[in-house]
Structure 1
Amino acid sequence: MSEHKDNRIGVLIMSYGTPESMDDVEAYYTHIRRGHAPTQEQLNELKGRYEAIVGGVFPLRENTNGQAAGLQDKLEQLAPGQFVCYQGLKHARPYIEDGVEQMANDGITRAVGIVLAPHYSIMSVGGYIKRAQEKAAEAGIAMSFVKQYHLHPKLLKALTDRVRDGLKRLANASDDEEKVKVLFSAHSLPEKIRELGDPYEQQLLETSAAVAKAANVEDWQFTWQSAGRTREPWLGPDILETLKAVAEEGYTAVLVAPIGFVSDHLEVLYDLDIEAKAEAKALGVKLDRIAMLNRDPLYMETLAESVLEAQNGLNEQ
């Protein structure tokens, strides 16, 4: 550990992580599977999905780097010289532990952790925080965390603007004749989170309702996507099932708002833009999707203001 104390506050920006290249896919998938290598069939399928989204590029890595840089810039504007950002990824390098270790090596003794996901679940954000906390305790770093920011006014405004834009696009493409349903979506988790009293589902519904109200959308529902393939049941209905139901109800257009995600990545670019779009087309339904937040200034402000608030908790420790 560095003997030189750095008085700045470290900010550990945590996210899921993604491979840097096609060569890294197997190691990445093995890490997700807790050390169990995927079968050749599973590996080929995942590689095929990456190939399908513009020829195997890895947008999440670039987007996450951009979000980290954007947050650093915004913190510098709001509190000059007070914060320094680090990345910690769940399933790729630099891992969460690497980010904490780097802070310790740089002489950081106080830090705030934030996950690039607005909604809290013990199985998602909670897992990131646990890993960061354990490593921070070992490294002698005092840490506080932003657990959720799903109702931050600036996040809601950014999402509302996108829903309005998406509805305008659909209306312009069809002379206002389409019967449109807005589908808010997020990554499914195993059903057992309901038994744990986990807030994830409720927080997603709160965000959906707030955005729908602000955008004057009455015709909406929430649906799940991207469930894992395990023996245990996952939260549903999945968006592919929801699209069938929506088509049967006579809707001719759908706007998908994946509010559980903040970046363009596989679950958006493949699961929605390729898989769900193909299903909608087969059902005779026009499907559009809102633009992702990525480096939207309102999202950067949401993150920065959430970090500043968590810093107050750190000062009280």
Structure 2
Amino acid sequence: MTTGVLVMAYGTPAGPDDVEAYYTHIRRGRPPTPEQLADLVRRYDALGGTSPMAERTRAQVRAIDEALQRIPDGGFVTELGQKHAAPFVEDGVAALAGAGVERIVGLVLAPHFSAGSVAQYHERAAATAAERGLPFIGIDSWHLLPELIDFQAAAVRESLATFPERTKVVFTAHSLPERVLEGDPYPDQLRRSAEATARAAGLATWAGWGLGWQSAGRTPEPWRGPDVLEIVRDLAGTGRADGLLVVPQGFTSDHLEVLYDLDVEAAAVAAEVGLAFGRTPVVNDDPAVMGALARTAADAAAGLRDRA
């Protein structure tokens, strides 16, 4: 029996000419204002005109597929499906159906579950799979995957070796509106993965690390905080630390929210207030993590087969 593994990601513009269409898709068909578009273009320009996320995502899919092909008698076919850029989630399901798979496992390249993010990927994939008569199972989260925790803990230890002794470690993830987070497991999963990483890295409980948020949308409703920029200013203002190391635990590839929001914007604020600043690398296509994700998908496929 052949299993399709649909690896899902957020998506990014293919180039500068695609930014407006991409932004319009994120806004559910509502074109951005000229000011909103100019601000996003400015951010991409700071990265050279576009984000490396598309390349990084393709590398992740290749690494997961290569690991799946090494599983004896696995029978796996892997495709990419994205939320806001081609190939879309529906395109990925169609490609798997065309390849003759008998069931589909959905894996989102985001470790933590939220109804406002991961659940939406699965809903779209499941609906399209059902139209084609294919059973679908989605992997809700992998925030405590041992290989992920090991990767992040090693990155923390290595990075701290170059920082002042009084350095605060802050684990960040993409903020979401408070109304979305009511009763949602996202904040608790972020806390649990941060605790696991901090413990593995040997950080002092709370005294040496904390939780933060970043990249909140520009809407009038309240979004979860504190924002990482507020944390930078607060640490400098109170004198409780000489450095800040950010662990962007909610992100798995180099893209705008990491390369601009942290490496450019937050770093600039830290420089203004005299605080040493840096971040740990994200996993990108780390072989150990991608291999573990492949095994997770294979286990889900086995469970789906057993229920058939």
Tell me if both proteins adopt one fold, taking TM over 0.5 as the criterion: yes
Match of 2:175 among 188, 192, 195: 188
Q: CA deviation at 1:91?
A: 0.2
Match of 1:293 among 275, 283, 287: 283
Matches of 1:57 and 1:68, distance apart in 2: 20
Task: Tell me what 1:164 maps to.
Answer: 157
Give structure 1 stretches of 5+ with no counterpart.
Answer: 1-6, 171-176
What secondary structure, in the 3-state scheme, does the structure 2 residue paired with 1:20 have? coil
Residue 32 of structure 2 corresponds to residue 32 of structure 1? no
Task: Spell out structure 1 runs of 4+ moving beyond 2 A.
Answer: 78-81
Matches of 1:256 and 1:81, distance apart in 2: 38
Q: How many residues align?
A: 303
What secondary structure, in the 3-state scheme, does the structure 1 residue paired with 2:198 have? helix
What secondary structure, in the 3-state scheme, does the structure 2 residue paired with 1:141 have? coil
Match of 1:271 among 261, 264, 270: 261
Deviates more, 1:268-277 or 1:139-148: 139-148
Residue 68 of structure 2 corresponds to residue 78 of structure 1? no
Residue 211 of structure 2 corresponds to residue 222 of structure 1? yes
In structure 2, relative to structure 1, the CA distance for the partners of 1:80 and 1:294 (3 Å cut) is farther
Matches of 1:241 and 1:57, distance apart in 2: 27
Residue 248 of structure 2 corresponds to residue 258 of structure 1? yes
1:97-126 Cα shifts (integer Å, max 9, x gaps): 111111112222211000000000000000
Q: Is the 8 A contact 1:112 1:145 kept in 2?
A: yes
Q: Is the 8 A contact 1:181 1:253 kept in 2?
A: yes
Q: CA deviation at 1:80?
A: 5.2
Task: Tell me what 2:196 maps to.
Answer: 210
1:197-224 Cα shifts (integer Å, max 9, x gaps): 1100000000000000110111000000
Q: Is the 8 A contact 1:144 1:313 kept in 2?
A: no
Deviates more, 1:213-222 or 1:243-252: 243-252
TM-score norm. by structure 1 comes to 0.93
What secondary structure, in the 3-state scheme, does the structure 1 residue paired with 2:264 have? helix
Match of 1:235 among 209, 219, 224: 224
Matches of 2:278 and 2:73, distance apart in 1: 40
Match of 1:306 among 276, 296, 305: 296
Match of 2:271 among 281, 288, 301: 281
Match of 1:41 among 35, 38, 42: 35
User: Structure 1 vs Structure 2: percent identity of aligned residues?
Assistant: 48
Matches of 2:273 and 2:33, distance apart in 1: 33
Task: Tell me what 1:100 maps to.
Answer: 93
Matches of 1:224 and 1:180, distance apart in 2: 18
Matches of 1:101 and 1:233, distance apart in 2: 38
Q: CA deviation at 1:306?
A: 1.3
Letter aligned with residue 186 of structure 1:
A
Q: Is the 8 A contact 2:77 2:101 kept in 1?
A: no
Matches of 1:117 and 1:280, distance apart in 2: 27
What secondary structure, in the 3-state scheme, does the structure 2 residue paired with 1:71 have? helix
Q: Is the 8 A contact 1:12 1:87 kept in 2?
A: yes
Letter aligned with residue 60 of structure 1:
M
Q: CA deviation at 1:33?
A: 0.4
Give structure 2 stretches of 5+ with no counterpart.
Answer: none
Correspondence 1:118-157 to 2 at 5 A: 118-157=111-150
CA root-mean-square deviation: 1.1
Q: Is the 8 A contact 2:2 2:100 kept in 1?
A: no
